[in-house]
Amino acid sequence: MENLTREKEFQAKLDREVKIEPKDWMPDAYRKTLIRQISQHAHSEIVGMLPEGNWITRAPNLRRKAALLAKVQDEAGHGLYLYSAAETLGVDRIDLEEQLLDGTAKYSSIFNYPTQTWADIGAIGWLVDGAAILNQVPLCRTSYGPYARAMVRVCKEESFHQRQGYEIIMTLAQGNEAQKKLAQDALNRWWWPALMMFGPSDDNSKHSAQSMAWKIKRFSNDYLRQDFVDRTVPQAEYIGLSVPDKDLKWNDERGHYDFGPINWEEFYNVIKGNGPCNRQRLKTRNASFKAGAWVREAASAYADKKASRKEVAA
């Protein structure tokens, strides 16, 4: 009985838009879904560094290299904010990292696609970070305080990511024939995976209803996906590129673009681990985790030494 009243009070708090803080009572299921979502979000930021990191040494000039370096470093920082936000829910970062490394934890499907040309770096900034902004800005108002506050900082940096990506792809699209072809080829390969980033369709989203009731999620997957299409198609047209969807058509009645069917078989295949780069991404993450063991050992030895010095002094 007591738990029921507490759940009712908890929901009333959410309905009054009161932020939930780490020390507040919360239903176990609320805590569990936040740990699931925030840790997967953090994993996505960290794994998301890999496809772009691949082009830091291949950037066409110093300006592009500096912007890409800054972006990849930002993603690392986003991962750290989000692991810290997850830790406020009583989990250890090392456990979350191990779930990523052993393949039991998910990260965003989009990062399992290869970056084949420099134009892909533009497409990632433009489309992937563009999609991430639409999905992350509402998370600045998510009901869990530490997550919402982490998102405010992340979103400020995402806008730079999207802008630098769009500028790369625009430069190529307005360049010579070969460059324009690179830009169109990148759009062809990244368009549909970017739509899949928003998650399954609403009727197949197992968490959305509860996440929206708990004000973790503010908009549904399909709502954000449609918003992304409506905003991005004019950006493609503006630089003379065509979106690879023969069913794409502005629907005056709806006030939105109608678009073709998403290949859900591909989506579920990728999130099951059978995407083009899943194995490579986990192999790279495991290798860098192993290579970084000495840093973790040194840091914990230093922390222990400092703690024992404090004890002696006390």
User: Is 226 one of the binding residues for ligand 3HC (CB under 6 A)?
Assistant: no
156-195 binders of ligand 3HC (CB under 6 A): 158
Identify each DSSP E strand in the chain by its residue range: 249-251, 256-258
User: Is 127 one of the binding residues for ligand 3HC (CB under 6 A)?
Assistant: no
Residues facing residue 144 across a β-bridge: 20
Surface-to-core class of residue 59, CB atoms within 10 Å of its CB (0-12 exposed, 13-18 middle, 19+ buried): middle
Residues in the chain: 314
User: Is 206 one of the binding residues for ligand 3HC (CB under 6 A)?
Assistant: yes
State the minimum distance, in angstroms, from the CB of residue 71 to ligand 3HC.
8
Helices (H), 88-176: 93-101, 118-123, 130-136, 145-173
Binding-site member from 55, 75, 186, 214 for ligand 3HC (CB under 6 A): 75
User: Is 132 one of the binding residues for ligand 3HC (CB under 6 A)?
Assistant: yes
Q: Distance from CA of residue 68 to its chain's centroid?
A: 17
Contact range with ligand 3HC by CB under 6 A, out of 87-95, 106-114, 169-177, 180-188: 106-114
Binding-site member from 39, 109, 143, 164 for ligand 3HC (CB under 6 A): 109
Pick from 64, 89, 240: which is nearest to 167 by CA? Answer: 64
Contact range with ligand 3HC by CB under 6 A, out of 3-11, 95-103, 128-136, 282-290: 128-136
Contact range with ligand 3HC by CB under 6 A, out of 41-49, 61-69, 115-123, 232-240: 41-49
Give the count of beta carbons closer than 10 Å to the beta carbon of residue 251: 10
Nearer to ligand 3HC, 128 or 229 (CB): 128
User: Is 201 one of the binding residues for ligand 3HC (CB under 6 A)?
Assistant: no
Structure tokens belonging to residue 272: 């099951």
Binding-site member from 35, 41, 122, 282 for ligand 3HC (CB under 6 A): 41
Binding-site member from 10, 20, 37, 168 for ligand 3HC (CB under 6 A): 37
- Please answer whether residues 137 and 227 qualify as being in contact, where contact means their C-beta atoms are separated by less than 8 angstroms: no
Residue type, 214: W
Nearer to ligand 3HC, 38 or 187 (CB): 38
Binding residues for ligand 3HC, how many (CB under 6 A)?
30
- Please answer whether residues 213 and 15 qualify as being in contact, where contact means their C-beta atoms are separated by less than 8 angstroms: no
Nearer to ligand 3HC, 44 or 184 (CB): 44
User: Is 286 one of the binding residues for ligand 3HC (CB under 6 A)?
Assistant: no
Contact range with ligand 3HC by CB under 6 A, out of 10-18, 84-92, 101-109, 254-262: 101-109
Residue type, 235: Q
Nearer to ligand 3HC, 64 or 275 (CB): 275
Binding-site member from 87, 120, 129, 245 for ligand 3HC (CB under 6 A): 129
Task: Please name the residues in contact with 47: beta carbons below 8 A apart, sequence gap of 6 or more.
Answer: 100, 107, 108, 111, 281, 285
Structure tokens belonging to residue 301: 């030895």
Give the count of beta carbons closer than 10 Å to the beta carbon of residue 226: 19
Tell me how far CA of residue 77 lies from CA of 46, 64, 129, in angstroms. Answer: 9, 20, 15
User: Is 207 one of the binding residues for ligand 3HC (CB under 6 A)?
Assistant: yes
Query: HSE-up of 178 (CA within 13 Å, CB side)?
Result: 2
Residues in contact with ligand 3HC by the rule CB under 6 A:
36-37, 40-41, 44-45, 48, 75, 78, 106, 108-109, 128-129, 132, 135, 158, 196-200, 205-208, 211, 217, 221, 271
